[in-house]
Amino acid sequence: MSRQRRSGAIDTDSGTESGGARKKKASATQVDLSGFKALRSVMRIRPFRRLWVVTGVASLGDWLGLLATATFASAQVSGSAAKGLAFGSVIAVRLLPALVLGPVAGVMADRFDRRLTMVICDLLRFVLFASIPAVALFTEAPEITIGWAAIATFLIETVTLMWIPAKEAAVPNLIPKARLEIANQLTLITTYGITPVLAGLSIAALDRVTRAGGTTPPEWAEASNLALYFNALSRLAMALVVFVGIKEISGRAVGPRTEHQSMLRQFVEGWKYVGKTPLVRGLVFGILGAFAGGGIVIGTAQFFAKSLNAGDAAFYLLFGTLFVGLGVGIAVGPAVVRDLSRRRWFGMSIVLAGASVLVLAASIHLTMALLGALLVGAGAGMAFLSGVTLLGGEVGDDVRGRVFAFVQTAVRVVLMLAIALSSSLVGLGGSRQLTIADLGISISSTRLLLLAAGLFGIFTGISAFRQMDDKPGVPVLPDLWGSIRGRPLSAGEKFVPRGVFVVFEGGEGAGKSTQVTALADALRRDGHDVVVTREPGATDVGQRIRSLVLGRHSGAGLAPRAEALLYAADRADHVATVVRPALGRGAVVISDRYVDSSLAYQGAGRTLPVEEVSWLSSWATGGLKPDLVVLLDIDPRAGLERVAARGAGADRLESESVSFHDRVRYAFLDLADADPKRYLVVDATQPTGEIAALVHDRVGDILPDPPPPPPAEEVADALNTFAEADRP
């Protein structure tokens, strides 16, 4: 049901008033800016910001270099066959070093100073990229030019294999672990979403500008040459910035135990770590399976487009849609799954990608194929992001470089083999037409390969999920649905709450008890099953805890951490014995205070670390979150005057200083700012009736309709039956 918002609600997204006042403006629209706040929190970290900027520029240069190197090689020969061979050969050469030097690169990333490794690698790439067009200026023999381009490309890729593990292993040390996912989002979107497009547009624009007016530019000013020079300079800039401005990267990951080990010994230990660690083993298996399936899709894509009776335009459209899905998965995935375990998300993303490949295999129309390609890309993007984040956050620093090197080497080899084998096998078996409802469906080796890739992807995702699952016994789909709703299931929780959980929060004297009673009465009149509860003191154990934490004398001298633990103990018993059973049967649970009170009073008021208080409350509740938090906002001075007017005497918290209550109030408002969709902030100085009507309207928007009353005839029959049974 939808109702017009009343004017008493406070917009939690508006700015603060002058003089530091925290009164909020009324507004009918609330915008969730939490994602932007997380992005700003990452960009405020200077070492990461600098690294991200120069990596973005270097990534643009690398994509330009990839296109320009291949174009440069093909431009040195004549004839379409020779040009195609030269173009493909340069691309293939970029994959070869992974077979030879990939595993060794990880040992070097863990053994030597990562900052110096990155600087030296970038200086070498600067020289090598600049040498490709420079050699062409001093020789007219195309075989020498192409030969050196291939050699330089091989050397560049070899150096890159050492640079990537050093960089990937260093990034988790620059930022807090909680912000690693948003940092990876930013990097991956820049590297695989923005810069490839800019590179293609840039090299096309360079070619158009250099050939403006129909004139042929000098050889040094060819678009491919300029792109290679830009790539070289971007690597020089990267080396200078890392060496001068990001000294936090410095350091080796080798600890005392491994300091005197040989490179061979470290190499063997790295491989053993991958094989013996369930998390890493599941990650590697899942990533390799996903890329194997992706390689088959790429290798068969052009033939698949023909099976749809579409031309080359359909192939490019499918290919572009795949990358659009990749960007969507990386950018939007975390916001959709929210608090879902990242280990579970990784396996589920691979299953999604595999199932989407099956959609491709069964597509009978381009529209259906485009949907499948979009979902394949989205699943791959989410798996990529969650996998990289887990590797960076869960793998120890002393072995992180070797694990990243192992993954990147294996990915390149598997991708190359999958593309090569699928493109070779796709022509075998021919194609047959199957007529269903006058639709000509091509059953070909292409579709069979896609079918195999989809099934293999699903198998890989399920296998990885089982190896990595950190919530055994918790059903998967209910956990996913609960996470999307902001209420993930905890380990051992076997049900999805069917009821609605509403919490009233606010400072002393805000009128929470009055509004709890008013809302409960209104909902009962509407026919809802309502359970009213409070914290602390809703259970027998809670009553005893309440006397400890709020009693004027018994709680004297109670340490802040002890106080926080007592509130958590009350909350754990409260949720287990009152809240969850009521939600499980579909009731509306209305609680006077919940987790936010601990974050505000013990976190801000007692100045305990808010992250620790949050974790403690989350553990106590099993991650259970309310569907709506009604924050009754009032100036502490006015609220304490109301408390004094009651004449009942102040408890321990009510007796605290005004500055304590100011901190509590601001903490409540900050929590509402961080999650405005879950909060209704109301000015508690309004008349009681207006507040009650406003709250009832908002709660009505999230409540299911109550069960309809029985027909009047059934009620009359039941009364008559009861009356007859009661007669003597």
Q: Please tell me which residue, 681 or 95, carries the higher pLDDT value.
A: 681
* 511 annotated to a ligand binding site: yes
* 29 pLDDT higher than 90: no
> Please, what CATH class does the domain formed by 9-31+497-702 belong to?
alpha beta
* 20 annotated to a ligand binding site: no
CB 232 within 8 A of CB 100: no
Q: What is the pLDDT of residue 13?
A: 42
Q: What is the pLDDT of residues 472-491, one digit of tens each?
A: 767 788 788 878 877 676 66
Alpha helices in 246-311 (DSSP H): 263-276, 278-307
* 309 pLDDT higher than 90: no
* 275 annotated to a ligand binding site: no
pLDDT band at 437 (very low <50, low <70, confident <90, very high): very low
Q: Please tell me which residue, 269 or 513, carries the higher pLDDT value.
A: 513
What are 534's strand-pairing partners? Answer: 592
* 509 annotated to a ligand binding site: yes
Identify the weakest region by mean pLDDT among 11-15, 621-625, 715-719.
11-15
> Whole-number mean pLDDT of the chain?
75
SS3 65: helix
Highest mean pLDDT among 137-141, 468-472, 697-701: 697-701
Please give the CATH number for the structural domain made up of 43-250. 1.20.1250.20
pLDDT band at 53 (very low <50, low <70, confident <90, very high): confident
Q: Tell me whether the CATH fold assigned to 9-31+497-702 matches the one assigned to 43-250.
A: no
CA 225/CA 220 separation, integer angstroms: 6
Biggest CA–CA distance in the chain, Å, is 120
Burial of 2 per CB tally in 10 Å (0-12, 13-18, 19+): exposed
Architecture of domain 273-494: Up-down Bundle (1.20)
Question: Which tokens in the block code for residue 14?
Answer: 């508006």
Q: Please tell me which residue, 269 or 438, carries the higher pLDDT value.
A: 269
CB 615 within 8 A of CB 598: no
Kindly state the helix (H) or strand (E) to which residue 530 belongs, with its residue range: strand 530-534
Kindly state the helix (H) or strand (E) to which residue 534 belongs, with its residue range: strand 530-534
* 494 annotated to a ligand binding site: no
* 507 annotated to a ligand binding site: yes
Helix axes 366-394, 342-361, angle to 10 degrees: 160
Q: What is the pLDDT of residues 75-114, one digit of tens each?
A: 555 554 454 445 445 555 565 666 566 656 666 666 778 8
Highest mean pLDDT among 89-98, 255-264, 324-333, 493-502: 324-333
Q: What is the pLDDT of residue 30?
A: 35
Q: Which residue has the tokens 């088959």?
A: 296
* 493 annotated to a ligand binding site: no
Query: 76, 100, 94, 95: which is closest to 86 by C-alpha?
Result: 76
* 44 pLDDT higher than 60: yes
Annotated domain spans of the chain: 9-31+497-702, 43-250, 273-494
Under the phi-then-psi rule, with left for phi > 0, alpha for psi from -120 to 50, and beta for the rest, what region is 486?
left
CA 299/CA 561 separation, integer angstroms: 60
Q: What is the pLDDT of residue 529?
A: 92
Residue 79 DSSP one-character state: S
* 23 pLDDT higher than 80: no
Highest mean pLDDT among 319-328, 353-362, 483-492, 569-578: 569-578
Percentage, residues of the chain above pLDDT 90:
14
